[in-house]
A and B are shown apart, each in its own frame.
Chain A
């Protein structure tokens, strides 16, 4: 089963990290990724740009394009992982490995319903 691990954090708080702190955290997360990769569990990983770069497209016959974010929420989706795990238990264990290396925020585990791994060149 594929699980997405969605990383929610307060964006302003995350921006308070110094470059050194952020680099150090990314190195630690890389080690976790290496481990998950060796176990054949790691799928695509992404860190998202700040919410100020977001654009919303409202569903409908004539889709409306709106500049996001809509409102000040406490935590924002700042990145995600896709993991291939045998069970929810295993996905939780993997998410815990990631969570231990992060300074704050919440990781939401959501099983993937449809996955279309179309190859991208970069």
Chain B
């Protein structure tokens, strides 16, 4: 890394901690962001000359806080103060040490609070994610707009509106007790999970996978686990995202077509991410406190450990889904379990399992995709065609629609083949 790249990386790495601390001081998100911005500008001026400080985050908190205090004083006195450079706003090491001591004890709750204010319950999930990417991750509006495939001005508006909501809401500034902390942790986990899903299987637009969103979600889940290193569900969340993200290089072919799990070239999976994810699953299991993220991570781990698709331990996956169904009942979980059941006991049983789900999953792409696939396996092409057509109508991305069209083409070929064979047989004397 060059000097400038190093500074850039240091500013990004320090961002959640610094804005979190500044938010605690100023209690207004905009003020915290402005102060951080100013501190970064000073860092860009000072660090290349004096060298980077021993603790970049403490330096930035100190400078950001002083900048904002100067602003307040300036406004209060309405008098001329000496120009910026003459005010002592850059800390010596002894001062940063003090700032460090003051802030280290708040470190965890500061970052959690910052993440939590982005998860305001009034904000729809896409807005929570957009605001978190802007405030916590420091992505530019342009980068976020690009990731969501909307115009920059539309994203600017969305974020401004969301921030107004957040600024108008009561941000909880007291140090949280255990129940509040658990509640915040759950809200933040969900937001990170949704962020990952948005990248993993885009809810709209032309790109089916948006890698930067997945990478950011992995980064935030690691950050959260560093704050709560002994929480098995956070281990599970981090593991789940790592194990899923490990498959990214194999999920689309050269023409951007979806490659199903069973058809993926498993040598393309990231062994490094899988090893990290498996370790975390093991660590979490030692706690004997299973939860939804841990169970999903354990399922992803079973897939990750199968060298070939045919080696997959479907019985174990079926069992894990059954536990997940009891912990977190949801028709989508049952739908996923049906895949394991189809592998273990055949398509007929799986189909019987998913038929009752239609009222709840009547507008769910994967429901009709799976139903079509099961009906094809059962040689019921006409019904399969109906299901696949419904799936295409519900597809979220072009890649999903194209994938289902492949199924339809295959069905057509099979029908042609059978009809051709019949015609051929009829011609025979």
Partners in one complex: yes
**Is residue A40 within 8 Å, beta carbon to beta carbon, of the partner chain?**
no
Q: Are B54 and A15 in contact (CB under 8 A)?
A: no
* B230/A66 in contact, CB under 8 A: yes
**Bound: A55/B107 CA distance, A:** 22
Q: Which residues of A58-111 have CB atoms within 8 Å of chain B's CB atoms?
A: 65-72, 74, 103-104
The contact of A13 among B10, B54, B223, B283, by CB within 8 Å, is B10
Contact yes or no, B226 A103, CB < 8 A: no
B275 contact from A10, A49, A69, Cβ within 8 A: A49
State the CA gap A15–B222 with chains docked (Å).
10
Whether the pair A49, B286 counts as a contact (CB closer than 8 A) is no
Give the nearest-CB partner of A25 in chain B.
Answer: B1
User: Across the interface, do B13 and A15 meet the contact criterion of CB distance under 8 Å?
Assistant: yes
Which residue of chain B has the shortest Cβ distance to A52 in the bound complex?
B225
**B1 close to A103 (CB less than 8 A):** yes
What string of 1s and 0s marks CB contacts (under 8 Å) between B40-71 and chain A? 00000000000000110000000000000000
> In the docked arrangement, what's the CA distance between A49 and B274, Å?
11
Report chain B residues within 8 Å CB of A69: 226, 229
**Chain A residue at minimum C-beta to C-beta distance from B221:** A52
B229–A53 touching, CB < 8 Å: no
In the complex, what residues of A have CB within 8 A of residue B13's CB? 10, 12-13, 15-16
Q: Which residue of A lies closest to B1 (CB)?
A: A103
Shortest Cβ gap from A70 to chain B (Å): 8
Q: How extensive is the interface on chain A, given as a class? A: 20 to 34
Report whether B229 and A16 are in contact in the complex, using a CB–CB cutoff of 8 Å.
no
Residues on the B chain within 8 Å of A13, using CB: 6, 9-10, 13
B286 cross-chain contacts in A, Cβ below 8 A: 65
Q: Type the 1/0 row for B98-118, where 1 means its CB is closer than 8 Å to any CB of A.
A: 000000100100000000000
Q: Which of A24-61 contact B (CB under 8 A)?
A: 49-53, 55
B58 to A, closest residue via Cβ: A74
Q: How far is the CA of A71 from the CA of B103 in the complex (A)?
A: 13
Contacts of B5 in A (CB 8 A): 21, 103
Task: Tell me if B9 and A74 are in contact (CB < 8 A).
Answer: no
B403 CB, min distance to chain A CBs, angstroms: 27
Q: How far is the CA of A21 from the CA of B230 in the complex (A)?
A: 32
**Chain A positions near chain B (C-beta within 8 angstroms):** 10, 12-13, 15-17, 21, 49-53, 55, 65-72, 74, 103-104
8 other contacts beyond A12-B223, A13-B10, with CB at 8 A cut-off?
Answer: A10-B13, A15-B13, A51-B226, A52-B225, A52-B280, A53-B276, A71-B104, A103-B1
